[in-house]
Chain A
Amino acid sequence: MATEPAGREPEHRAHHWARLLLLVPFVAVLWVPFYNSLEPMLFGIPFFYWYQLLWIILGALLIAIVYRVEH
């Protein structure tokens, strides 16, 4: 790869790209006004609760993706 900066392994580069994904869960749960609402409900559970529970799963998936890319 000609565009590779000197002294950097390709693996190292992939490392940096994928890790940016790990910022997404922070944005998703720190932006409180976005999810502090009752609607839309899911099975009678207000948005506030199921949205945050959903991010536990999405956060784990993102970590799994980063792990896959790196190993």
Chain B
Amino acid sequence: MNWTAIIIFVALFVFVTWLGFFAAHWRKGDLGLLSEWGLGGRRFGSVVTWFLLGGDLYTAYTFIAVPALLFGAGAIGFFAVPYTVMVYPIVYIVFPRLWAVAHKHGYVTSPDFVRGRYGNRWLALAIGITGMVATMPYIALQLVGMQVVIGAMGIETTGWVGDLPLIIAFVILAAFTYTSGLRAPAMIAVVKDLLIYITVIAAIIVVPIELGGYGKIFAAIPSPKLLLAAPPAGSWGSFSAYATLAFGSACALFLYPHSITGVLSASSARTIRRNAATLPAYSMMLGLLALIGFMAIAAGVQQLPEFADGFKRYGNNFSVPSLLLFAFPSWFVGVAFAAIAIGALVPAAIMSIATANIFTRNIYREFVKPTCTDAEESQVAKVMSLIIKVGALVFIFFIPFQYAIQMQLLGGVWIIQTLPAVVIGLFTRFFNGWALLIGWLVGTCLGTWMMAVMNFAPAYPLHILGETIPCYTAVASLVVNLVVSFVLSLVLNAVASDRHKDMTVATDYI
């Protein structure tokens, strides 16, 4: 047991818990309204939005998994960097438009927008369910990040008692999300992000000094891990896999409900544009953090007897915690681990709020009780956020870890199928609602099939004109989705146009 680390860890955790409950009083609004509970009243300025989105997108799991991928698979794991390079130009162009139309019409979720734009509640339902299903395993994976650091402090994480710390953390999370809504993660995100910045800056300065500089670190990496493998003749090999993984992930990221919630809670479209220029600071941190995977190789943590048990239990996900334990004094390990654990709370809270918003708006109000009052709507969302968290806990305790990862990979393939309706829908009403629904169905089924055939490897080898082009499944299935949606729209627009159902006008998008 690492008592110093545990005491600091617990102290920081208690502090953010207090902050979570206190947040209900911050910029006080009527929490009986869904836009107040679930979007913080759309009042977050540039600075709060920066912390909120940073805390929301760069999750604890990211901080554990990206370096673990470099540690295990090498250069291909660095795709997270070009991914985040491409995501912000997309954010700059696309999401201020979504904010504007949502603000005008009171939309809280992306299916709300789709419902208004296409007047098709089945399409909205498909988009909503996709968002919910894609988010659930993502919440579960946040718990994994927490579980790894709790275990790394020497606390037993097997058996019923071992699950207790995680259950306590989740009860706390559930309670403050219920009472404070989106204000809680927004406030906690500030603390979490500062802790993470401190940890990363310390790691990228201290560790290379201890290991003798970056030159020595890279010199210690076996050469197959250092670069992408050159493609064999007749194939684009890892080059196309790397590029499409980065591009597809960039397209998918802001379609996730928790990203949309972060975007819609901003106080203006300009806030989002400013953040597109300032959020890359987090990407820089992630890119540097990814290199910790290589530092862990150079430090040889896997060969040290004191970490053998951790690697056996958590696999490569143990590379970051073990390096922190290796390089830092106990008190700082406490700070760093708290940063990771709190880093799990923030996105988990936002994800559960976002999913609850979708359930309430696009399933409950649309299909179950159209006459429900605003207060009822907010209450349903609060209860739903609890149910979702219990679901995530069940997921992590009763379903093998491997399935959570596979589900999350599938989630990326599924969520990207909502791009034609949500993103393209912001620019043109050419597409027909039913055509989009069929395109979504084809893309989702095809993508799932490709993933299953490849045994959940993310790239599928396409054979085009005699060349083998490994392509991220999400991108390949999205292209098919787009073609189907386009062709069917041409036909349906001619015989049964649904354009008159559009509740929005061009000026709603600024």
A residues apposed to B, CB below 8 Å: 19, 22-23, 25-26, 28-30, 32-33, 36-38, 41, 43-46, 48-49, 52-53, 55-57, 59-60, 62-64, 66-67, 70-71
Chain A residues near B175 (CB, 8 Å)? none
**A66 touching B86, Cβ below 8 Å:** no
Chain B residues near A71 (CB, 8 Å)? 270, 273
Chain B residues near A37 (CB, 8 Å)? 227
Interface residues of B in 73-123 (CB under 8 A from A): 75, 78, 81-82, 84-86, 88-89, 92-93
**B291 touching A63, Cβ below 8 Å:** no
Chain A residues near B82 (CB, 8 Å)? 29-30, 52, 55
**A64 touching B85, Cβ below 8 Å:** no
Interface status of B218 (Cβ within 8 A of chain A) = yes
Q: Which of B75, B92, B218, B228 contacts A63 (CB 8 A)?
A: B92
User: Which of B217, B227, B247: most chain A CB closer than 10 A?
Assistant: B227
Interface string of B208-235 (1 = CB under 8 A from A): 0000011111110000001110100000
Interface status of B165 (Cβ within 8 A of chain A) = no
CB closest residue in chain B, given A26: B86
* Chain A min CB distance to B334 (Å): 29
Q: Which of B85, B215, B243 contacts A59 (CB 8 A)?
A: B85
Chain A residues near B270 (CB, 8 Å)? 71
A interface SS class: helix
Interface residues on B, range: 35 or more
**B78 touching A49, Cβ below 8 Å:** yes
**B227 touching A38, Cβ below 8 Å:** yes
**B88 touching A60, Cβ below 8 Å:** yes
Chain B residues near A44 (CB, 8 Å)? 213-219
**A25 touching B89, Cβ below 8 Å:** yes
* Chain B min CB distance to A28 (Å): 8
CB closest residue in chain A, given B280: A60
Q: Which of A23, A25, A48, A53 contacts B288 (CB 8 A)?
A: A53
* Chain A min CB distance to B281 (Å): 8
Chain B residues near A56 (CB, 8 Å)? 81, 84-85, 280, 283-284, 287
**A52 touching B218, Cβ below 8 Å:** no
Chain B residues near A29 (CB, 8 Å)? 81-82, 85-86, 243, 246
* Chain A min CB distance to B468 (Å): 16
User: Which of B85, B93, B228: most chain A CB closer than 10 A?
Assistant: B85
Assuming A36-B228, A38-B226, is B92 touching A66 (CB within 8 A)? yes
Task: Give Cα distance in the complex from A62 to B280, angstroms.
Answer: 12
* Chain A min CB distance to B448 (Å): 26
CB closest residue in chain B, given A28: B85
* Chain B min CB distance to A53 (Å): 5
Task: Give Cα distance in the complex from A31 to B242, angstroms.
Answer: 10
Interface residues of B in 169-220 (CB under 8 A from A): 213-219
Interface residues of B in 384-427 (CB under 8 A from A): none
CB closest residue in chain B, given A23: B89
Task: Give Cα distance in the complex from A67 to B81, angstroms.
Answer: 23
**A63 touching B276, Cβ below 8 Å:** yes
**A59 touching B213, Cβ below 8 Å:** no
Chain A residues near B240 (CB, 8 Å)? 32
Chain B residues near A52 (CB, 8 Å)? 78, 81-82, 85, 287
**A53 touching B92, Cβ below 8 Å:** no
Task: Give Cα distance in the complex from A64 to B247, angstroms.
Answer: 21
**B226 touching A46, Cβ below 8 Å:** yes
**B278 touching A48, Cβ below 8 Å:** no
Task: Give Cα distance in the complex from A28 to B108, angstroms.
Answer: 35
Chain B residues near A45 (CB, 8 Å)? 214, 218
* Chain B min CB distance to A9 (Å): 12
Chain B residues near A22 (CB, 8 Å)? 89, 92-93
Task: Give Cα distance in the complex from A66 to B92, angstroms.
Answer: 9
Interface status of B277 (Cβ within 8 A of chain A) = yes
Interface string of B2-41 (1 = CB under 8 A from A): 0000000000000000000000000000000000000000
Interface status of B369 (Cβ within 8 A of chain A) = no
Apart from the given pairs A32-B228, A44-B217, A44-B218, 10 other A-B contacts in the complex at a CB distance below 8 Å? A30-B246, A37-B227, A44-B216, A45-B218, A46-B226, A53-B287, A57-B280, A59-B85, A59-B89, A67-B277
Chain B residues near A38 (CB, 8 Å)? 226-227
Task: Give Cα distance in the complex from A37 to B226, angstroms.
Answer: 9
CB closest residue in chain A, given B270: A71
Assuming A37-B227, A46-B227, is B239 touching A67 (CB within 8 A)? no
Task: Give Cα distance in the complex from A44 to B214, angstroms.
Answer: 6
Chain B residues near A70 (CB, 8 Å)? 273
For the complex of A and B, the 6 pairs showing the least CB-CB separation, nearest first, are: A44-B215, A29-B82, A22-B89, A60-B280, A63-B277, A44-B214
Q: Which of B92, B215, B228, B277 contacts A43 (CB 8 A)?
A: B215
**B277 touching A64, Cβ below 8 Å:** yes
**B89 touching A26, Cβ below 8 Å:** yes
Task: Give Cα distance in the complex from A23 to B214, angstroms.
Answer: 32
CB closest residue in chain B, given A37: B227
Interface status of B429 (Cβ within 8 A of chain A) = no
Chain B residues near A53 (CB, 8 Å)? 81, 284, 287-288
CB closest residue in chain B, given A60: B280
Task: Give Cα distance in the complex from A44 to B291, angstroms.
Answer: 13
Assuming A37-B227, A53-B284, A56-B287, is B214 touching A30 (CB within 8 A)? no
Task: Give Cα distance in the complex from A16 to B230, angstroms.
Answer: 38
